[in-house]
Chain A
């Protein structure tokens, strides 16, 4: 058997196998038609094999005649396959083609096509005559038509995968066309059946193209084939060149010298091969990508060193820059999900030009079909498909308009741990507007690499935020305040800029906490934080300094400007306080760097002093550092004025209570005195004593809301009546809560009926949880009640009352308080007390 027969034999066997495989998947029309093409091709190869192998010499002419018809059949069925691939029916062309097959067969069998055919020593001698041109013409027509159909599809398609697949088929068609005419036009290889080789290659390409959905990038394959082809040619040239040179210039007679020469040439070629391949590949890559070569190289380089990038902004800026240039794009963006709203919004954009603002608005809601698709598929989405694919029918018109206005061309998901963590949004390509398969692969590989980095960067950034953030308010914390202050001072020193500092303290916050509990206090802190954030400029930074104190750094703000911001914050806080809730106000102090000092401690100290002054001058106000250095006198007078105003209110209210209940007339005053005496004996501060004094006077103010019939009832109270009586501490707080000067008294009034064992009212507080002032007041209140006449029981002496208090110490009263009380309520002391009271 000759090599001329081997080629068609191998082709036949391979075609037969392919045909069997294709027939097994004939559910798709394109597969069925492809199977027919393979059957035709296998028959064509078989007849060619029989002709060249020629087992029965007298049938050579018959095989050649069948061969002619089989050739036309193969070409027509290939054309038919291309029609099916393009989702078109066979059409008139296919009918004509199959008719031509039968016509050729009939003519051939009647001797009109092949004039003679015989084989001598394995070499075929045959003559087709003029009809050969007819055969060639028919074949050329269908082959060129098929190729043209494929080119049209390639040009009209906007789907990169489809274009890549179609490119394979075009490539196959061209191979068939070229290989079909190589044998005929190259006398040296006449009879070698390159047409079979070409057809076989085409069939393999098609098999690959229609069975594999994701094909290797055809440009990549082409480049590789080209590179290795050139490499082989170069190495062959080098090998032969060196061999000839060695023979000419270094005559080597002994055989061992020839072996050495040959070995040297082989080693040289082997050493040269690898670097040569690199050079060739680089040159081919450069040729394929022309203008964008440098950028593509930069992009690939960046991809290779991406893993060393930690910061998100560094990654984003460099990646977008290099992608835009390498892929020749109009723009590129990186979208991240906002954890609050779930919206994917542009966080980084390239280029950052003035005209880019509108397209910067690209965002997708969390339930957008586009987001769902990117999450589900995890592959790039060309924006052309959005208009076509049914999955996107749910897009709103507004979303479609925004998408159209964004001038985007491609979206690529960045997924990590089954989450869509970001989206790369790329603009349209400046050249032909269509992304190639190679572009998609490059973008996808970038996205895959970026996912880990983004995930890490996000975790890092979240950790940094957590470390610098106050968990309760969401503002930056004390530690970060000092860092930022150092940073601002450094910046100011370097660039000669200024900045201001505001310190804010919530007025009477402790009292609020005592009355309403710490949970309510936490809520107030959160609300104040929101008020601050909504009142400051975007460049200002707010911190929770500690407790109920906040600070705000205002970069590049003068003292007067900062004062305006501080006033805005103060007013917002006051305004946001509901009329039903207890009034919340804040005092603020403002200082400026470098006016109030260049050291960190100095500016904090000045701001603190200004805040203190605001507190001293009546709270709910803003003071600047410049106010602090004013003389003390006005401060004292303001303070005194404030105190006398408060006292006048207290006495007026106390008179109201006493007027209500004749039996308790003077009770408030006495309780106040006993309590103050107790507080003094316990060495409490002046402020606390003032609070106790006022609370003692007003502790029963809630009784104004209780009917006289109950207050003056002689018999025992029923449950309903007790319920009303027990409400009086809360009622008292309700009455007094709007008087800002008395806010400190409220916890004392509220809890003066709590019992030390927790059985009291209204909150059932126990032990130390009851404010000390309230425990003092409870003892004083009980003592005066026992020693005063009441409609419902007999009056007792001071000693009897003290005994009663001692008996109840540890259950109703704080034992420590009773212990001190028993010391101060000696007859002599009581007398002194009475004198003092009068």
Chain B
């Protein structure tokens, strides 16, 4: 039995809170002290292992400053020889288990990453911490109890979320369905069985991706088949629960929702689109989901607290560095450019940064670019008195678009889909926009002879994406999300943009907007500002502009 489980059994809530959630009481100075000390410990481990020597290219940094000046930023390619082959002897510490990414991630089918025992200890504590934040109304309150019913709609191991749950202390909660029993079930079966059990045994805690929370809620409310009362007569508690739900929904004159049946103590979600689904989840489940910023490489990096506002960084899992947005864009345009990084005590509120992590406790990642852009919403949480900078996930930096945690679309797949439609187009660019749901917004400039409406184009591209990317198809099938929208750009919109860039003295690499994730100003220029620039100035670039990529 883990330490947290012991504390729950003892009812020692104060110590449990300190252990799992106490980091929110740290001052920024304390936060940085922890970061520096654990970094130095990690460096000692890295210097002694093959992976460390290889990735640090022989550098032997002895301080935080030396580390940042001597060691280059890395990507997964730097770790590929060690991690894809699961070469445990090359690692700084022996892994407890291995896990990989959910969804497609561009160049690698799976990004494998180890988890060490000590790191897992920290993560386990943090999982309890996130649950505590989700269940509480004020500091120090532990809202969950021993053997509370816990429904989890997460990917199976070795996907990260599944691996974490798989290794969680099973005895603490009544997992729906029991973890061992669920190992051989499909995702659908597991969620189905989990819900059946939740109806009979009750539901206290729920952990899932935001998109799944919405999908399940919608499916729940759309069940039109009448409930067969007869078998339920033998189970009065179930009957009572259903009756209560029915009465509530009838009184509100709407379809039955999960919140009518269950009064959840805690609701935790991960996934990149948490903000988009937030209100819908609240509407369906009766409470906001606690958003946790987590990933395969960095594990749990930040979490919301009980005010459900910005996410608080966690000091003991990773060392954080921040690449300012301009530096990030510059390095994207020039892969040889080594961008400057800032530390946690140097970031500014309202700014966007690309996140760089160095994992602690014998994990392998060193100055690793996660590819995530985060926004620092404030330097402290005034309401709750948290002195650690607050963040929100802003988007991906690289050419990948994550949709609802289900799929990761690459430039290649999208381009292929557009091509497959046979629609005559000149150029395109696409980005994810967050409204009440995630929207894939395709900005397309048709050739002169193209006479199509945006809906027709959207329909055709959508069909192709369904064909090319099965997880994309699941979006509609499973959560009813059809995220693609199309805006047809005026003729010569791209040429106009390029001419404007040329006139501003941009070098060749910056003349064209990127295909994936263009900035607001780029889109504004494409949609509105084309008339200002004479088209003839850039007409000769047309063929290369499209085909050179």
Do residues A156 and B10 form an inter-chain contact, with CB atoms below 8 A? yes
Using Cβ atoms and an 8 Å threshold, which residues of chain B touch A394?
33-38, 316
**Contact across chains for A29 and B13 when beta carbons are under 8 A apart:** no
Q: How far is the CB of A90 from chain B (nearest CB, A)?
A: 11
Task: Indicate whether A120 reaches chain B with its CB closer than 8 angstroms.
Answer: no
**Which residue of A has the minimal Cβ distance to B32?**
A394
Query: Are the CB atoms of A87 and B26 closer together than 8 Å?
Result: no
Chain A residues, Cβ within 8 Å of B14: 87, 157, 159, 162
Kindly identify which residue among A88, A387, A393, A396 contacts B13, using a CB–CB cutoff of 8 Å. A88
- Contact call B11/A88, Cβ cutoff below 8 A: yes
**Interface status of B120 (Cβ within 8 A of chain A):** no
Asked if B48 CB lies within 8 Å of chain A CBs, one says: no
Residues of A within 8 A of B118 (CB): 397
Q: Give every chain B residue within 8 A of A88 (Cβ-Cβ).
A: 11, 13, 142
User: Does B30 count as interface, using CB distance less than 8 angstroms?
Assistant: yes
Asked if A21 CB lies within 8 Å of chain B CBs, one says: no
Contact A397 B361 (CB under 8 A): yes
| Chain A residue with the shortest CB-CB distance to B122 | A393
Task: Known A-B contacts: A390-B26, A394-B37, A394-B38. Give 19 more (CB < 8 A).
Answer: A87-B17, A88-B142, A89-B141, A152-B11, A153-B12, A156-B11, A157-B14, A159-B15, A388-B15, A388-B18, A390-B315, A390-B316, A393-B23, A393-B316, A394-B316, A395-B37, A396-B37, A396-B38, A397-B41
Taking a contact as CB atoms under 8 Å apart, the answer to whether B361 and A367 are in contact is no
Q: Say whether chain B's binding surface is mostly helix, strand, loop, or mixed.
A: helix
Give 1 or 0 for each of A388-411: 1 = CB within 8 Å of chain B CB: 111101111110000000000000
Give the docked Cα–Cα distance between A87 and B140 (Å).
6
Contact A389 B22, beta carbon cutoff 8 Å: yes
Contact B12 A157 (CB under 8 A): yes
Contacts of B26 in A (CB 8 A): 390-391
A396→B143 contact, CB < 8 A: no
**Measured CA separation A86–B22 after assembly (Å):** 17
Contact B142 A87 (CB under 8 A): yes
Q: Is A183 an interface residue (CB 8 A)?
A: no
Chain B residue nearest to A28 in the complex (CB): B138
**Beta-carbon contact of A390 and B41 below 8 Å:** no
Q: What would be 26 A-B contacts, judged by CB atoms less than 8 Å apart?
A: A86-B11, A87-B14, A87-B140, A87-B142, A152-B11, A153-B11, A156-B11, A156-B12, A157-B15, A158-B15, A159-B14, A387-B3, A388-B15, A388-B18, A388-B19, A389-B22, A390-B25, A390-B30, A390-B34, A390-B315, A390-B316, A394-B34, A394-B37, A394-B316, A395-B37, A396-B41
Interface residues of B in 1-53 (CB under 8 A from A): 3, 10-15, 17-19, 22-23, 25-26, 30, 33-38, 41
Give the number of chain A interface residues (Cβ < 8 Å): 27
A158 to B18, CA, bound (A): 13
In the complex, the answer to whether B22 meets A367 with C-beta atoms within 8 Å is no
Structural contact, B37 and A29, CB atoms closer than 8 A: no
Q: A769–B260 Cα gap in the complex (Å)?
A: 102
Q: What residues of B have a CB within 8 angstroms of the CB of A29 in the complex?
A: 138, 141
- Kindly list chain A residues whose C-beta atoms are within 8 Å of the C-beta of B10: 152, 156
- Mask of A414-426 contacts with B, CB within 8 angstroms, 1/0: 0000000000000
**CB closest chain-B residue, reference A365:** B37
Output the nearest chain A residue to B39 by Cβ-Cβ distance.
A394
**Chain B residues within 8 Å of A159, by CB:** 14-15
A390 touching B23, Cβ below 8 Å: yes
Instruction: Tell me whether A393 and B15 are in contact (CB under 8 A).
Output: no
Distance of A464 Cα from B34 Cα, bound (Å):
40
- Report how many residues on chain B are interfacial, defined by Cβ distance under 8 Å: 31
How many angstroms between the C-alpha atoms of A389 and B17 in the bound complex? Answer: 10
Contact B37 A369, beta carbon cutoff 8 Å: yes
Residue ranges of B at the interface with A (Cβ–Cβ < 8 Å): 3, 10-15, 17-19, 22-23, 25-26, 30, 33-38, 41, 118, 138, 140-143, 315-316, 361
The residue from A87, A153, A388, A397 contacting B22, defined by CB atoms under 8 A apart? A388
Name the residue of chain A whose CB is nearest to the CB of B93: A397
Q: How many interface contacts (CB-CB < 8 Å) are there between A and B? A: 74
In the complex, what residues of B have CB within 8 A of residue A388's CB? 15, 18-19, 22
Q: Across the two chains, which residue of chain B brings its CB closest to A85?
A: B14
Asked if A372 is an interface residue, CB under 8 A from chain B, the answer is: yes
CA distance A394 to B360 in the complex (A): 10
- How many angstroms between the C-alpha atoms of A784 and B242 in the bound complex? 125
Asked if B143 contacts A389 (CB within 8 A), the reply is no
- Residues in chain A near residue B37, CB distance under 8 A: 367, 369, 394-396
A92 to chain B, nearest CB (A): 11
B19 surroundings in chain A (CB, below 8 A): 387-388
Q: How far is the CB of A438 from chain B (nearest CB, A)?
A: 22
- Chain A, residues 369-389, CB within 8 Å of chain B (1/0): the string is 100100000000000000111
Q: What is the minimal beta-carbon distance from B147 to any residue of chain A, in angstroms?
A: 15
In A145-173, which residues have CB < 8 Å from any B CB?
A: 152-153, 156-159, 162
Interface centre among B12, B17, B26, B41 (most CB of A within 10 A): B12
Complex CA distance for A389 and B25, rounded to whole angstroms: 10
Q: For the complex formed, measure the closest distance between the CB of B299 and the CB atoms of chain A, giving whole angstroms.
A: 15
CB distance B41 to A393 under 8 Å?
no
Q: How far is the CA of A3 from the CA of B142 in the complex (A)?
A: 46
Min Cβ gap B317→A in Å is 10
Determine the chain A residues whose CB is within 8 A of the CB of B18 once the complex forms. Answer: 388-390
Within 8 A of B (CB), among A719-775: none
Contacting residues, chain A, for B38 (C-beta < 8 A):
393-394, 396
CB pair A86–B361 under 8 Å, yes or no, is no
In the assembled complex, the Cα of A125 lies from the Cα of B12 at a distance in Å of 47
Residues in chain A near residue B315, CB distance under 8 A: 390, 393
Most chain B CB atoms below 10 A, which of A89, A153, A162, A394? A394
Chain A CB within 10 A, most for which of B14, B26, B36, B316 = B14
Q: Which residue of B lies closest to A152 (CB)?
A: B11
A621 to B472, CA, bound (A): 88
Q: Which 5 A-B pairs have the closest CB atoms?
A: A394-B37, A87-B13, A394-B34, A390-B22, A156-B10
Q: Which residues of A are found within 8 Å of B141, using beta-carbon distances?
A: 29, 87, 89
Q: How far is the CA of A89 from the CA of B12 in the complex (A)?
A: 14
Shortest A22–chain B CB gap in Å is 17
Q: How far is the CB of A436 from chain B (nearest CB, A)?
A: 18
Question: In whole angstroms, how far apart are the Cα atoms of A647 and B363 in the complex?
Answer: 71
A87 (CB) vs chain B CBs: closest residue: B13
Residues of B within 8 A of A372 (CB): 33
Cα separation A395 to B41 with both chains bound (whole Å)? 9
With both chains docked as a complex, state the minimum distance between the C-beta of B286 and any C-beta of chain A, in angstroms. Answer: 17
Give A647 Cβ to nearest chain B Cβ, in Å. Answer: 55
Q: How far is the CB of B319 from chain A (nearest CB, A)?
A: 11
How far is it, in angstroms, between the C-alpha of A29 and the C-alpha of B17 when the chains are bound?
Answer: 16
A388, B30: Cα distance in complex, Å? 15
A398 to B11, CA, bound (A): 31
Closest to A157 in B: B12
Residue of A nearest to B33 (CB): A394
What is the CA–CA distance of A367 and B64 in the complex, to the nearest angstrom? Answer: 14
A159 smallest CB distance to B (angstroms)? 8
> Bound state CA distance, A372 and B27, in angstroms?
14
How many angstroms from the CA of A153 to the CA of B35 in the assembled complex? Answer: 34
A87 cross-chain contacts in B, Cβ below 8 A: 13-14, 17, 140-142
User: Inside 8 A of B33's CB, which chain A residues have their CB?
Assistant: 369, 372, 394
Q: Which of B15, B25, B143, B361 has the most CB of A within 10 A?
A: B15
Cα A152 to Cα B22 with chains together (Å)? 23
**Which partner residue on chain B sits nearest A384 by CB separation?**
B15
In this complex, what residue of A is CB-closest to B22?
A390
**A626 CB → nearest B CB, Å:** 53
B-contacting residues, A643-693, CB 8 Å: none
Q: Is the CB of A86 within 8 A of B41?
A: no
| A152 vs B10: C-alpha distance when bound (angstroms) | 8
Distance between A367 CB and nearest chain B CB, rounded to angstroms: 7
**For residue A396, which residue of chain B has the nearest CB?**
B41
Whether B143 pairs with A89 at a CB distance below 8 angstroms is yes
Residue from A153, A157, A393 having most chain B Cβ neighbours under 10 A: A393
- Closest approach, in angstroms, between the C-beta of B61 and any C-beta of chain A? 16
When distances are taken between beta carbons in the complex, the residues of chain A under 8 Å from B12 are 153, 156-157
How far is it, in angstroms, between the C-alpha of A655 and the C-alpha of B41 when the chains are bound?
A: 66
Chain B CB count within 10 A is highest, among A153, A387, A397, for A397
